[in-house]
């Protein structure tokens, strides 16, 4: 069955870096664009970034642009998010997701990895 | 930046109909998707492409679109439908995704 398993979360000081990973299985990872979505404690869902199926295109939300970098390795079925210059407001549960789209209606989410930015 | 606006809360009695709206300028051009999220769980897709229902989602969930507003309708609400609901769509250039502000559905 489809699995998305995030890892790499933890407690980090403001201004430091963290790298999240997402291991995918059970579907053809290399065929789909992949997203990171986050949710601060007690708050709503917030889209973070997307990378196209082949890595040729990537887009970011304004609040992470210039600080976060999304990448993927289709040979290893993994998606990553390099987070630099972390701020308290980046504290959230980070989900890796294959979001439904017009061409590909399937929708998959991991269980998330928690990032806490605190001194 | 692009925003999708939802009412913060909707309350409904069991067996009644709940309607949740989502407004955004690009919705006439972009599909909308609806998610249900229960505490401690990842979101679950309940409607895609404005009005399509994924397999396994009960028929009481339906979606519709009119201009800059899309609507999720839950007919014959059950206690298990109590959750947060989010719409999601793309900006007009289909570059990035946006989630709505979220609506908490309370079953009285």
Query: Who among B42, B52, B98 is closest to A109 (CB)?
Result: B42
Cβ contact (<8 Å) for A100 and B45?
Answer: yes
- Residue A93's closest chain B neighbor by CA? B42
Percent of chain B with pLDDT over 70: 100
Asked if the model's pLDDT at residue A42 lies above 90, the reply is yes
Give the pLDDT confidence score for residue B33 in this predicted structure: 98
Q: Which residues of B touch A59 (CB under 8 A)?
A: 95-96
Those residues with Cβ within 8 angstroms of residue A87's Cβ, 6 or more apart along the chain or in another chain = A14, A117
Q: Does the CB of B38 have a partner CB in chain A at under 8 Å?
A: no
Give the pLDDT confidence score for residue A102 in this predicted structure: 83
Q: What value does the mean pLDDT take over residues A109-114?
A: 98
Which runs of E-coded beta strand occur in A1-119? 3-7, 10-12, 18-25, 34-39, 45-51, 58-60, 68-73, 78-83, 92-98, 108-109, 113-117
Asked if the model's pLDDT at residue A103 lies above 90, the reply is no
Query: Who among A47, A62, A109 is closest to B97 (CB)?
Result: A47
Cβ contact (<8 Å) for B102 and A44?
Answer: yes
Q: What value does the mean pLDDT take over residues B71-88?
A: 98
Q: What is the pLDDT of residues B5-48, one digit of tens each?
A: 999 999 999 999 999 999 999 999 999 999 999 999 999 999 99
Give the pLDDT confidence score for residue A74 in this predicted structure: 98
Asked if the model's pLDDT at residue B1 lies above 90, the reply is no
């Amino acid at each position: 069955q489809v699995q998305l398993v995030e890892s790499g979360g933890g407690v980090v000081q403001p201004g430091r870096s963290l790298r999240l990973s997402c291991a995918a299985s059970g579907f053809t990872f290399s065929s789909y664009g992949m997203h990171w979505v986050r949710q601060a404690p007690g708050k709503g869902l917030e889209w973070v970034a997307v990378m196209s199926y082949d890595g040729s295109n990537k887009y970011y939300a304004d609040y992470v642009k210039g600080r976060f970098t999304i990448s993927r390795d289709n040979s290893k079925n993994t998606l990553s998010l390099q987070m630099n210059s972390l701020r308290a407001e980046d504290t959230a549960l980070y989900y890796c997701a294959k979001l439904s789209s017009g061409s590909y209606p399937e929708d998959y989410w991991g269980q998330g990895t928690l990032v806490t930015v605190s001194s | 930046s692009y925003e999708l606006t939802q009412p913060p809360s909707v309350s409904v009695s069991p067996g009644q109909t709940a309607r949740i709206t989502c407004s955004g300028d690009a919705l006439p051009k972009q599909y909308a998707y609806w998610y249900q999220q229960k505490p401690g769980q990842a979101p679950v897709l309940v409607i895609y492409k404005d009005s399509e229902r994924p397999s396994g989602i009960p028929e009481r969930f339906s979606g519709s679109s009119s201009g800059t507003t899309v609507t999720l309708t839950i007919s014959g609400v059950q206690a298990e439908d109590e959750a947060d609901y989010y719409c999601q769509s793309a900006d007009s250039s289909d570059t990035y995704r946006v989630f709505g502000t979220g609506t908490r559905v309370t079953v009285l």
